[in-house]
Amino acid sequence: MRTHPVQPGRVALVTGGASGIGLGIVQVLIEAGLKVVVTDVRADHMKRAQQTLASAGDRAVFFPLDVADRTQWSDARRLVEERFGELHILCLNAGVGVLGSMLESSDADWTWITSVNLDGVLLGVETFLPHLVAHGQPAHIVATSSMGGLVVANDGGIYSTAKFGVVALMEGLRQDLRGHNVGASVLCPAAVNTNIFDHERMRPATFRQSGSLRTEDELEGMEAFAKQILAQGRDPIEVGKMVRAGIEADKAYIFTDQNVRSTLIRRRDALLAFT
């Protein structure tokens, strides 16, 4: 088996690293002795993460990065190469969650979700894959998909279109990386207690025009419902530990919940019912 890159002194970069699952991964990797480049698009999340990670000192480096922006990815690579030389762990975690029927969806709904959730992962792979392969040291890429990357929930069609793509991208990458010193895993979380409930409110101005226009009351109701479900979900630090274990064991899939078994069996049976 390949030697894994979770070693003190190694370098990681995490997208969407200032909140929720990303921040959980960052905290676990810092605890393991790595240096971590924490990237995110939201200044308020970055500010809070800087406070949370203050004790890490210069082992946590903060860099604003919108994963949908190719130029900003090039800037991130330049920062890593100039400051550290090599990157060893790349966690392509940033994503946005939005619910709505495809019958109502707008161009903005599709473009926002696919540009962040799918293109954002692809751009990260494109930017760093040659670097990770070339330096030859143990390295690993983890992308955050979702259980929604394997099954489609009610009103989850747009989200799942992108998240299924992330699963395919990482499965393909894992095959293509055979024989190289770079692993590839896909994280498929079920409910995790994060800030995902407020994503509808964080739409950038260009993607504001949602097809499922909601009143303030409806939005508040959806957020309250989501918070209630998420509160019963995993703690992001627990998920960070699962990601660490998944990298160390070079797992193809990292699941956060045993209950997903029955969901996966239902999907398998539904597929086989057509044969």
Residues forming the active site:
159
Site stretch for ligand NAI (CB under 6 A), options 25-33, 167-175, 192-200, 206-214:
192-200
**Per-residue x/- marks for ligand NAI, 60-79, CB under 6 A?**
-----xxxx-----------
Question: With contacts defined by CB under 6 A, how many residues of the chain interact with ligand NAI?
Answer: 32
CB of 95 to ligand NAI, least distance (A): 2
Site stretch for ligand NAI (CB under 6 A), options 17-25, 82-90, 100-108, 124-132:
17-25
Contacts of 65 (CB under 8 A, 6+ apart): 15, 39, 40, 41, 72, 73, 75, 76
Of 6 and 94, nearer to ligand NAI (C-beta) is 94
DSSP H helices in the chain:
20-31, 43-52, 70-83, 107-114, 120-135, 157-176, 216-231, 236-248, 260-272
Q: Tell whether residue 41 is a contact of ligand NAI (CB under 6 A).
A: yes
Strand partners of residue 255: 188
Q: Tell whether residue 45 is a contact of ligand NAI (CB under 6 A).
A: yes
- The closest alpha carbon to 159, from 101, 211, 204, belongs to 101
Contacts of 187 (CB under 8 A, 6+ apart): 21, 93, 142, 143, 144, 145, 239, 242, 243, 246, 254, 256
Six token digits for residue 262: 């029955």
Of 19 and 138, nearer to ligand NAI (C-beta) is 19
CB of 1 to ligand NAI, least distance (A): 27
Q: Which of 42, 135, 180, 241 binds ligand NAI (CB under 6 A)?
A: 42
Of 65 and 182, nearer to ligand NAI (C-beta) is 65
Q: Tell whether residue 27 is a contact of ligand NAI (CB under 6 A).
A: no
Q: Tell whether residue 20 is a contact of ligand NAI (CB under 6 A).
A: yes
Strand order in the sheet with 35-40: 60-64, 35-40, 11-14, 89-92, 139-144, 182-188, 253-255
Q: What's 152's DSSP letter?
A: P
Q: Tell whether residue 108 is a contact of ligand NAI (CB under 6 A).
A: no
CB of 129 to ligand NAI, least distance (A): 19
Q: Tell whether residue 139 is a contact of ligand NAI (CB under 6 A).
A: no
Amino acid at 25: I
Distances (CA, A) of 161 to 3, 17, 56, 92, 211: 34, 23, 37, 17, 17
Angstrom distance (rounded) from CA 121 to CA 123: 6
Q: Which of 233, 243, 246, 247 binds ligand NAI (CB under 6 A)?
A: 233
Angstrom distance (rounded) from CA 214 to CA 157: 18
CB of 165 to ligand NAI, least distance (A): 12
Of 40 and 140, nearer to ligand NAI (C-beta) is 40
- The closest alpha carbon to 111, from 127, 128, 98, belongs to 98
Residues found near ligand NAI in the complex (CB under 6 A): 15-16, 18-22, 40-42, 45, 65-68, 93-97, 116, 120, 144, 146, 189, 191-192, 194-196, 230, 233
